[in-house]
Amino acid sequence: MFDIPLHSLYMMLFVVGLLIIASFARWSIKRKKPHADHTELKQRIQSWWWMIAILFGILVASDTVSIVFFALLSFLALKEFFSIMPTRQADRRILLWAYLAIPIQYYWVATEWYGMFLIFIPIYVFLFLPMRAVFVGETSGFIRSLGTIHWAVMLSVLCISHIAYLLQLPVKNEQAGGLGLVLFLIFITQFNDVCQYIWGKTLGKHKIIPKVSPKKTWEGFIGGVITVTIISGMLAPYLTPLTTGQGFIAGALIAISGFIGDVVISSVKRDLAIKDSGTLIPGHGGLLDRVDSLIYTAPLFFHFLYYTHY
Amino acid sequence: MNRILKILFFGLFIKPIVLLGLGLNVFFKFRLPQTGPAIIVANHNSHLDTMVLMSLYPLSQIHRVRPVAAADYFLANRYIAWFSLNVIGIIPITRSQITDKTVLFDKCYQALDNGDILLIFPEGSRGAPEQLSALKKGIYHLVKARPDVNVVPVMLHGLGRALPKGEAILVPFNCDVVIGESLPFIEDSPRYIASISDALNTLLALCLTRQAVVEDDE
């Protein structure tokens, strides 16, 4: 029915298998300790099922559907940013233009205009938004406003659109297809989140940046980087054109930058004294809380891959 | 017929806009009164306030939710009047020439006796974006005659940015809807008004978007 490359199909089945194991694990924990409150864990795993079902369903549908989906993801992420960050009433018109950057950026992705895809936001949007703001005429708070708006657009539109462009690159690993690249990036990024959490929970002692994220430890970070680097080296040749050696580098890159993405968004939330950026995903918080690490890993993985193979 | 119009309007138009164009952070949804008679008191910054509160209800229940609205504004021209009365289902009240309070609230009591849920914005008008204006006393006089009715405070935040007074274009923002616990009636009118105001301000602390509004210099 769907023309899914074999390696990508097995990868998706593997992820579904992991989720089934997680669901059974939760079920057995609940049987052992029936009185403790497991609501958050339950919500988290349920939300994972939803997210995986939606993501896989869209990825196997078609590339166009996937590009529209990632555009929607950018929209929701940008909206979450604008909602929690301080903006002036005078910025309303500028924010509308910033939203308009999303369909245009994804149009470059859909038409595979690589050069424009790269420079549209850092050059054209970057220069246009302040000009539009000048015409609005409110100069009080101008610098701060334009700085935060452009920063939000870079993170939630330019960075996330790199995931969609992975699907447009010429296929070099026939058995995995463009789909394999997206699955690899998303799986390794989320696997890194889980690994750092588990290593931190079991061995964590020395705090890494207590002011931003008191639960993050050196043990969690290093344990995560090592585990993810090894797994990535094993998985990369299966799903991507990368060799095992390059897979190790990609893994370390994703593990380190995923951690940074996580703590950058944590700093934003800490600055605003909020715990979550939204309530879109039950048990996880907002969309930004879920894609924080992906925002950093997507462009870095993309350009590493592009430099080594294209 | 009006009920069908209402379901169509909310199902095809308002709910999709609220879901995608806005996006809500709803806290304590279980506190929302499921059946009438009940009164929801909320702060008021935007025309979206009414739409958002009504959209929290399932389509099958939406006809039970009745916004109490100023007759001089919403009945001012016949098209808006038809739309307000038939599609939204407002209960119009006259803001000026308040003489006999029982006559004034006659339709509100009818609706409460009918098991409806009233939406009331005690600030009276939308006011400056994201600022709680002084609450009017009308709510006290209304509840006085039905002191046992379930009164639930709801804090809305961020809608004044998405569609403030005097603007026609909606800018997408996530908005907070924080639902409070049922408020008991207090005989003393200043104390009762203060208790509503306090409840709304307490709920404000939970809003994710509370820091996001910067006041413009005059």
What pLDDT does residue B205 have? 87
Q: What type of residue is B163?
A: L
Name the superfamily (CATH) of residues B2-204.
Glycerol-3-phosphate (1)-acyltransferase (3.40.1130.10)
Q: According to the per-residue pLDDT averaged within each range, which of A8-22, B146-160, B175-189 is highest?
A: A8-22
Across chain A, which has 310 residues, the per-10-residue mean pLDDT values are: 82 95 90 81 90 94 94 95 89 93 97 96 96 89 92 96 96 91 96 92 88 89 95 95 96 96 92 86 88 96 95
Residues of A with CB below 8 A from B209's CB?
Answer: 83-84
Q: Where are the domains positioned within chain A?
A: 65-168
Length, in residues, of chain A: 310
What pLDDT does residue A72 have? 96
Q: Where are the domains positioned within chain B?
A: 2-204
The angle, 0 to 180 degrees and rounded to 10, between the axes of the packed helices A142-153 and A63-84 is: 150
Q: Is pLDDT at B9 greater than 80 in this prediction?
A: yes
pLDDT band at B218 (very low <50, low <70, confident <90, very high): very low
pLDDT band at B213 (very low <50, low <70, confident <90, very high): low
What pLDDT does residue A4 have? 87
Q: Is pLDDT at B215 greater than 60 in this prediction?
A: no
Mutate to test the interface with A, among B179, B209, B210 (most CBs of A within 10 A): B209
pLDDT, average across residues B24-39? 89
Kindly tell me the burial class for residue B212, based on how many C-beta atoms sit within 10 Å of its own C-beta (0-12, 13-18, 19 or more).
buried
Cross-chain CB nearest to A90 (options B158, B211, B216): B216
Please say whether the beta carbons of B185 and B196 come within 8 A. Answer: no
What pLDDT does residue A127 have? 96
What pLDDT does residue A246 have? 96
Q: Is pLDDT at B99 greater than 70 in this prediction?
A: no
Which residue did the predictor score with more confidence, B158 or A298?
A: A298
Q: State the nearest Cα–Cα gap between B20 and chain A, in angstroms.
A: 8
Region of poorest pLDDT, from A55-64, A161-170, B1-10, B112-121: B1-10
What pLDDT does residue A2 have? 62
What pLDDT does residue B94 have? 79
pLDDT digits (tens, 9 = 90+) for B68-86: 888 878 888 888 888 888 8
CB atoms within 10 A of CB A130: 16
Q: Is B27's CB within 8 Å of A279's CB?
A: yes
Residue A169: partners with Cβ closer than 8 Å, 6 or more residues away? A178, A181, A305, A306, A310
Mutate to test the interface with A, among B20, B30, B161 (most CBs of A within 10 A): B161
Instruction: Give this complex's ipTM.
Output: 0.85
